[in-house]
């Protein structure tokens, strides 16, 4: 029987104010995995904006109290003998939301929810890949996949989902444009050239149409939502697809005539509906791409790697839009 014990975070009550967020560090047993389950000793777990929003009470379906955290990398320490000692990674939309999550020393979940970690990735790198790359991969797949002849526009290019989408789109050989709200270079890795645009001083749709001979964008990955909705609609090619994962406002003006006349598609993606078993299948597809270096993990800044005792600092950094990936190490 597994009687190991460790610590985990405990979100105890909702607070809309990050400065008053109630997070406790409590001792917890590793527990005994049931049939078809494994227990993972967490070595690193990324902190995502959705983790912070859930802890602040901005996700109505999140249960209270519970351990936050969606992504992880660690070592199997309980369950089937053949899996013991295996270095794994994973994540899921139910973790940290409707059941205890990854910001803890131990996590028990279905054996089908863990995948062998790419050996060339550190635990910190692997533990911070999940939500951004799962979101980008699934969004592009639901949009029909990226082809070498596609023009792709990523709105919010320097966000972590934006960077993941750019890696995947350039890996497919597409021509990729990125847009931000002010002049800036692209800060992430890519497998090809990125043409960055500034929505504060440029007519983004007009520039892309000019650069693509009037064609426009076949896929728009809109990681921000309504601030780029009009730009995205104006730049979409015939049969173009726009992917949504977030927004600041819930309603936008919408030209139905252009929508059906140009045969556009809008794709809404809610990764909270993708559980850890579903996500494991995506991790398996991503693994060889990271193993061969065709995809790159996010750089890890030691200054943004925190122990559980500094969780409040880690959550505040994410809430304040840290440009670095924030990681917890139990």
pLDDT digits (tens, 9 = 90+) for 124-147: 999 999 999 999 999 999 999 999
CATH 3.40.50.720 fits 132-271, yes or no: yes
pLDDT digits (tens, 9 = 90+) for 22-69: 666 766 667 789 999 999 999 999 999 999 988 888 887 888 788 899
pLDDT for 63 equals 81
DSSP β-bridge partners for residue 55: none
Give me the architecture of the 5-129+297-328 domain, per CATH: Alpha-Beta Complex (3.90)
CA distance 322 to 259: 36
pLDDT for 2 equals 41
Higher pLDDT pick, 160 / 12: 160
Domain ranges in the chain?
A: 5-129+297-328, 132-271
User: What percent of the chain is modeled with pLDDT above 90?
Assistant: 81
Q: Which residue has the tokens 């227990």?
A: 39
The average pLDDT across 90-117 equals 96
321: left (phi over 0), alpha (psi -120 to 50) or beta: left
Whether residue 5 contacts residue 29, with contact meaning beta carbons closer than 8 Å, is answered with yes
Phi, psi of 324 (to 5 degrees): -95, 155
In this prediction the pTM is 0.93
Provide the token pair at 249: 């406002």
CA distance 126 to 136: 16
Name the pLDDT band for 152 (thresholds 50, 70, 90): very high
DSSP β-bridge partners for residue 41: 75, 106
Whether residue 304 contacts residue 325, with contact meaning beta carbons closer than 8 Å, is answered with yes
Whether residue 243 contacts residue 220, with contact meaning beta carbons closer than 8 Å, is answered with yes
């Amino acid at each position: 029987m597994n009687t190991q014990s460790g610590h985990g975070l405990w979100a105890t009550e909702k607070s809309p104010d990050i400065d008053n967020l109630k997070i406790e560090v409590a001792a917890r047993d590793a527990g005994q995995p049931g049939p078809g389950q494994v227990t993972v000793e967490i070595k690193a777990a990324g902190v995502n904006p959705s983790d912070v929003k859930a802890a602040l009470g901005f996700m109505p379906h999140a249960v209270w109290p519970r351990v936050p955290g969606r992504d992880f990398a660690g070592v199997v320490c309980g369950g089937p003998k053949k899996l013991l000692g295996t270095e794994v990674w994973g994540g899921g939309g139910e973790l940290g939301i409707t059941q205890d999550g990854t910001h803890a020393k131990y996590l028990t979940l279905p054996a089908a929810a863990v995948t062998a970690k790419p050996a060339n990735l550190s635990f910190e790198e692997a533990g911070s890949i999940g939500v951004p790359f799962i979101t980008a991969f699934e969004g592009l797949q639901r949009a029909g996949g990226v082809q070498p002849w596609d023009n792709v526009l990523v709105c919010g290019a320097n966000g972590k989902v934006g960077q993941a989408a750019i890696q995947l789109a350039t890996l497919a050989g597409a021509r990729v444009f990125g847009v931000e709200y002010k002049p800036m270079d692209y800060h992430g890795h890519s497998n090809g050239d990125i043409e960055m645009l500034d929505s504060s001083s440029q007519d983004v749709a007009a520039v892309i149409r000019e650069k693509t001979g009037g064609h426009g964008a076949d896929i728009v990955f809109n990681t921000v939502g309504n601030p780029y909705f009009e730009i995205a609609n104006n730049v979409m090619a015939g049969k173009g697809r726009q992917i949504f994962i977030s927004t600041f406002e819930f309603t936008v003006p919408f030209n139905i005539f252009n929508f059906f006349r140009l045969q556009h598609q809008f794709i809404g993606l809610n990764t909270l509906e993708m559980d850890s078993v579903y996500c494991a299948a995506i991790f398996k597809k991503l693994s060889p791409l990271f193993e061969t270096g065709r995809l790159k993990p996010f750089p890890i800044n030691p200054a943004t790697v925190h122990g559980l005792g500094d969780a409040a600092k880690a959550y505040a950094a994410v809430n304040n839009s840290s440009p670095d990936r924030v990681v917890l190490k139990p």
